Structure 1
Amino acid sequence: MFTNRRILEDGICQDFESLSVSKKLVRSVSQKLRKKRVHRSDGGEEDSAGGVSLRCLTMYGRVGGCKVGADCSEDFGGSSTRRLSASEEGIKSAYRCGTEDCCSYGRKDRFRKRSSRKGLELDELHRNGRMNISLPDDILEMCLMRLPLSSLMSARLVCKKWNHLTTTPRFMQMRKEGCYQTPWLFVFGSVKDGHCSGEVRVLDVDLHQWHKVDVEVLKGRFMFSVASMHEEIYIVGGCSSLTSFGRVDRSSFKTHKSMLVFSPSTKSWRKAESMKYARSSPILGISEVTVDCPITPTQSTRQDRRFPRSRLGGVSDVYEDPHRLSVRRQLRSLSDENASIMGPTKKQRRPLRQRTETSSLRDGGKRFVLIAIGGLGSWDEPLDSGEIYDSMSNKWTEIQKLPVDFGIVCSGVVCDKTFFVYSESDKLAGYDIERGYWLVIQTTPSPPRVHEYYPKLICCGTRLFMLSVSWCEGDGQIGRRNKAIRKMWELDLTYLTWTEVSTHPDAPMDWNAAFVADKDLIFGAEMFKIFGQVLDFFTVCNVGVSDKVMSWTHISRNRVGRELDASSCMTKTIAALHL
């Protein structure tokens, strides 16, 4: 019996060696088999109920089949109670070693155990609240850029990674190109208890929800003007009281010449280059220009800056500069003008920072200009001068003054590379941004208006509109009183004629109503005090529809003026952005 057992083990070892299985593996498996064997009552030996067939061992050695201890007696067609001897297993494994039944069973068993183990781990993670599922950055950006702005602001508070991904210029550009932005309306100039609170009221036009943003830098500042470009809002000029900080007081005030930049998408503020002259309530116009567009003062502008002294003043120009009329001086000034036109020389090269900004704009950035004209000066005097801001150089440059006898500017807007301004004396002029000079525009007929209400110029694309208040007859009936209504006119830039296109539904109770355009939408904000309460009405008109009549609709009523003073009707100003 011992001899037969030895011969059988030697044969098994030879079979394993013929299958290129290491001796160490064969030795470990043989030891496990010896431990699991039991003796029968007749002195014979066979595997226990939990024994392992040699066939399974062969497959395990070759392709990693079932684990040690699997019961494979049913593969041979026998009953579950019948046990095969070691010799019979060796013989049958010699004929069935090429099959994959037992191997597939082993794979299923391992997969079942592995799946159950993973399921237990996931359940444990869920119970302990330690589930951490992360997405790739590109997929995460695609998900976040589809969120509305209010939801995007909340998503930035989740973690630093989300905050970083949603504030990069690449993310902003993807969100803008994907048309996931919606119009937002910003209302500045809130006054509470006689003080400028600095609060900015923001309206989500699509969701009809109001939000409030507290701004420290605007506290105590009033009578400033705003303009929007490239998802940013520019606050220009303004006043602040000197006697009591934050109080709207025109008796003792300081006029500012600084410009602040507000980015609503990132809630960040920065200070840009200040104007050369202090202004309150200036008329602003903003427009995109090409990188090669020359923004330089013309010769007439340089002449306007000269202030010759007369003999009555005590000193003449000749005695002040005796070489003023010399030929050498004239040739030198002429060469300086030609050099400024041809470009900077080697000695006049721009600094490294400015060259970097220019190169970045050429690589895909956008350049724009901001024009500020008119307004009130430091001594509350009306101004007829103007300045232009270049985003590429971050500098202000004086421009040519308004035409003579033009009057005080009350409204202005940029349309088709021309800055149109309208005066209180019903005159229209245009400033050519690329050429740098003013043109007086004669229009027929001039829209009738009530002089107590200043007209407002609005531009949508290449279309120029004006909103003015005029008297309307009482429907042709005798005894019916006339009423004042607000009409919208459109100027034909080819024939220079005004045409009435729409009528505002509300009565013109606010003489300082504010209007702003965003793409094909014109937003209006009216605020007035009646019966001791401040009321506000916000309307919108879509001028992009061609087959329908341009009609105004209300988007909000009495949601802002409840907490504000009557002074907010005078200090309010609005801006519109797609965010």
Structure 2
Amino acid sequence: MTFSVMSERLTGEESLERDFGSLSVSKRLVRSVSQKLKKKNPRVEGEEGNARGVSLSCLISLYGRGGGCKVGADTGDDLGSQQGRRRSSSSDEGKGYVPVCGNEEASVDCFSYGMREKLWRRSNRKGIQVEEAVQNRSPVNVFLPDDILEMCLVRLPLVGLMNARLVCKKWKNLASTPRFWKMRREGMFQSPWLFLFGVVKNGYCSAEIHALDVSFNKWHKIDSEILRGRFLFSVASVRDDVYIVGGCSSLTNFGKVDKSSYKTHKSVLVFSPLTRSWRKAASLKHARSSPVLGILEVTSDCLIIKNQHPRSERRFSRSRVGGISDVYEDPHRLSVRRQFGHSLDEKPYKFIRQKSERFNKDHRWFILIAVGGLGCWDEPLDSGEIYDSLSNKWTEIPRLPVEFGVACSGVVCKGLFYVYSETDKLAAFDIERGYWIGIRTAPSPPRVHEYHPKLISCNGRLFMLSVSWCEGDGQIGRRNKAVRKLWELDLVYLTWTEVCIHPDAPMDWNATFASDKNLIFGVEMFKIFGQVLDFSTVCRVSDTDTNWKHVSRNQVAHELDPTSCATKSMAVLHL
């Protein structure tokens, strides 16, 4: 009994010694691995400064299957437990990163001491600079991506945008691309601008253009040395450009409005307000002063091509009376349209609609028509010309109808170029077919003949501004007075309808009017009591209500000469 107990005890002690021996071997193995690890990273230390070992679970979690180091790997014994995960942290003593093994959780960071903070500060340098600048109350440099910066610039008013382009080269390039201006037009961020040309100052034709920012009611001056000494020219606006056509200049007294010895111009100038640049377009066939102009923009779905007929194919249909053709089908229903014959020295042509794959939707293609005006010897002209911006060429068109009179106003409306004469006759030029149409309205609005009527096209509607007498509102003893009225022509039944009355008395016999979308702008300038005054008005056209209101009063004319009343011209752009 005693022998058996002693043998069992001896056997248990031998097994315990074997267990201790195996444990000591594992400790030596772990100690050697730990020493090798210390040689590779001498900064790795224990948690309390004593000799430490690394558990096998720590080594397994430290080295993955691919043999690389896992940054921030879980080193706890229970890898599946969420409670055994902790981010790596640097030691408070600043000696390095401490791997913790055994039953405690830890993670290993492969970066050397302080590298994590350096990398973080480098990647967030701009944010740190902004925070330091805010704390020190110093100027902050904000760096925005190009797309966000472009969206900010495109929403600025024109004056702010021009100032922003002066900040740096990058901003200038962003705000000068065709894509930028296309975004500005399509985003409805533009506002109307009124440009006043042909003013006279101190006896000379001024080299200044006055521009009114309608939104802020503020006038600006633009130097235009190229217009110095030029007067009695006509202007037309198309998109972002203004075309200056014809005009006169004195030969003996350069710069003054002197028609005793003068030269009539054929040249056509183009002014771009956005870049404040000038360029030349093709010159007219005939020199003209104060011609009547009309603009038609060509749509992207069709082209208008000019084809001249050979001399052998020319055909003229003349009736027995006055060389006028017979009446034919009339889209205006109640009007009488007549096609007039051409003389043999003219070049008839026609327009053909034709699709083209080469057409660029962003290309600014338009047609400019110039008729009438005064020639080189101050004689009235009845000829006309048409300008194609795509080919940059002028082509003659048929003359105005016989006995039409002197053209005083014109505008393009729904593909037809309407012209009104001083003898109260209305004609329209069919741009596509290339002939004139005589239009009879019933009746014509009564007017004072000293004031020439002005045709206006607004949202596909044809208007006319004329001055007529008002009989004292029907009250006895009230004096008659002259008022300026706005009339609309029904393009189907060809009847004139009074729309509204202009609020100002018609003191200016050469008042200028121009339209932009659903707005009609007017500038009146006159001399009274030895002082030149100016009034700028705007009328919003709608189906329900049409009213005038003032946008500017006496801000420009007090510096100008009274001659400006007769030489001024106006254009409206959306910028």
- TM-score tier, shorter chain, comes to 0.7 to 0.9
Q: Identify the match of residue 195 of structure 1 among 180, 196, 204.
A: 204
| Superposition map of 1:534-549 within 5 A | 534-543=532-541, 545-548=542-545
* Separation (CA, whole Å) in 2 of partners of 1:447 and 1:66: 92
Given that 2:309 and 2:348 are in contact with CA atoms closer than 8 Å, whether structure 1 keeps it comes out as no
Q: After superposing the two structures, state which structure 1 stretch, 123-132 or 365-374, moved more.
A: 123-132
Given that 2:194 and 2:570 are in contact with CA atoms closer than 8 Å, whether structure 1 keeps it comes out as yes
Given that 1:52 and 1:68 are in contact with CA atoms closer than 8 Å, whether structure 2 keeps it comes out as no
What is the deviation of 1:47? 2.6
- 1:24-44 per-residue CA deviation (whole Å, 9 max, x = no partner) reads x521544775xx99xxxxxxx
Q: Residue in 1 aligned with 2:445? A: 447
Given that 2:203 and 2:561 are in contact with CA atoms closer than 8 Å, whether structure 1 keeps it comes out as yes
Q: Residue in 2 aligned with 1:388? A: 386
Q: Residue in 2 aligned with 1:374? A: 372
Q: Residue in 1 aligned with 2:559? A: 563
Q: After superposing the two structures, state which structure 1 stretch, 8-17 or 556-565, moved more.
A: 8-17
* Separation (CA, whole Å) in 2 of partners of 1:299 and 1:502: 50
Q: CA 1:71–1:530 in 2, change beyond 3 Å: closer, same or farther? A: closer
* Separation (CA, whole Å) in 1 of partners of 2:259 and 2:494: 40
- 1:492-514 per-residue CA deviation (whole Å, 9 max, x = no partner) reads 01011111011001000000000
| Superposition map of 1:2-401 within 5 A | 13-16=31-34, 23=36, 26-30=38-42, 47=49, 63=71, 65-67=88-90, 70=93, 93-96=101-104, 99-100=105-106, 114=120, 122=130, 132-290=141-299, 291-296=302-307, 361-362=359-360, 364-401=362-399
| Superposition map of 1:419-430 within 5 A | 419-430=417-428
**Structure with the largest fraction of helix:** 1
Q: CA 1:365–1:13 in 2, change beyond 3 Å: closer, same or farther? A: farther
* Separation (CA, whole Å) in 2 of partners of 1:303 and 1:387: 20
Q: After superposing the two structures, state which structure 1 stretch, 197-206 or 410-419, moved more.
A: 197-206
Q: CA 1:229–1:107 in 2, change beyond 3 Å: closer, same or farther? A: farther
3-state SS of 1:217 partner: helix
Q: Residue in 1 aligned with 2:492? A: 494
Q: Residue in 2 aligned with 1:460? A: 458
Q: After superposing the two structures, state which structure 1 stretch, 554-563 or 470-479, moved more.
A: 470-479
Q: Residue in 2 aligned with 1:518? A: 516
Given that 2:206 and 2:229 are in contact with CA atoms closer than 8 Å, whether structure 1 keeps it comes out as yes
* Separation (CA, whole Å) in 1 of partners of 2:351 and 2:471: 57
Q: Identify the match of residue 472 of structure 2 among 467, 471, 474.
A: 474
What is the deviation of 1:102? 8.9
Q: Residue in 2 aligned with 1:346? A: none
Q: Residue in 2 aligned with 1:329? A: none
Letter in structure 1 aligned against 2:543: S
Q: CA 1:120–1:297 in 2, change beyond 3 Å: closer, same or farther? A: closer
Q: Residue in 2 aligned with 1:311? A: none
3-state SS of 1:226 partner: strand
Given that 2:212 and 2:220 are in contact with CA atoms closer than 8 Å, whether structure 1 keeps it comes out as yes
Q: What value does the CA root-mean-square deviation take over the aligned residues?
A: 3.9
Q: CA 1:260–1:113 in 2, change beyond 3 Å: closer, same or farther? A: closer
* Separation (CA, whole Å) in 2 of partners of 1:231 and 1:31: 71
Does residue 514 of structure 2 align to residue 508 of structure 1?
no
- 1:218-261 per-residue CA deviation (whole Å, 9 max, x = no partner) reads 11111110001121111101111111221111111111111111
* Separation (CA, whole Å) in 1 of partners of 2:209 and 2:225: 11
In the superposition, the TM-score normalised over structure 1's length comes to: 0.75
Does residue 573 of structure 2 align to residue 577 of structure 1?
yes
* Separation (CA, whole Å) in 2 of partners of 1:240 and 1:337: 33
Q: CA 1:26–1:202 in 2, change beyond 3 Å: closer, same or farther? A: same
* Separation (CA, whole Å) in 2 of partners of 1:283 and 1:293: 22
* Separation (CA, whole Å) in 2 of partners of 1:502 and 1:551: 7
Q: CA 1:502–1:517 in 2, change beyond 3 Å: closer, same or farther? A: same
- 1:104-131 per-residue CA deviation (whole Å, 9 max, x = no partner) reads xx99995699569957655667879796
* Separation (CA, whole Å) in 1 of partners of 2:158 and 2:460: 29
Letter in structure 2 aligned against 1:154: N
Q: CA 1:235–1:121 in 2, change beyond 3 Å: closer, same or farther? A: closer
3-state SS of 1:176 partner: helix
Q: Residue in 2 aligned with 1:348? A: none
Given that 1:298 and 1:400 are in contact with CA atoms closer than 8 Å, whether structure 2 keeps it comes out as no
In structure 2, list runs of 5 or more residues that go unmatched.
Answer: 1-23, 63-68, 73-87, 316-343
- 1:369-417 per-residue CA deviation (whole Å, 9 max, x = no partner) reads 0000011111111111010000111000000001111110010101111
Q: CA 1:433–1:558 in 2, change beyond 3 Å: closer, same or farther? A: same
Q: CA 1:123–1:494 in 2, change beyond 3 Å: closer, same or farther? A: closer
In structure 1, list runs of 5 or more residues that go unmatched.
Answer: 1-5, 18-22, 38-45, 73-88, 305-332, 344-357
Given that 1:238 and 1:279 are in contact with CA atoms closer than 8 Å, whether structure 2 keeps it comes out as yes
What is the deviation of 1:15? 4.5
What is the deviation of 1:167? 1.4
Q: Residue in 2 aligned with 1:328? A: none
Q: Residue in 2 aligned with 1:353? A: none
In the superposition, the TM-score normalised over structure 2's length comes to: 0.76
Q: CA 1:71–1:107 in 2, change beyond 3 Å: closer, same or farther? A: closer
Given that 1:537 and 1:554 are in contact with CA atoms closer than 8 Å, whether structure 2 keeps it comes out as yes
3-state SS of 2:163 partner: helix
Letter in structure 2 aligned against 1:514: T
Given that 1:260 and 1:270 are in contact with CA atoms closer than 8 Å, whether structure 2 keeps it comes out as yes
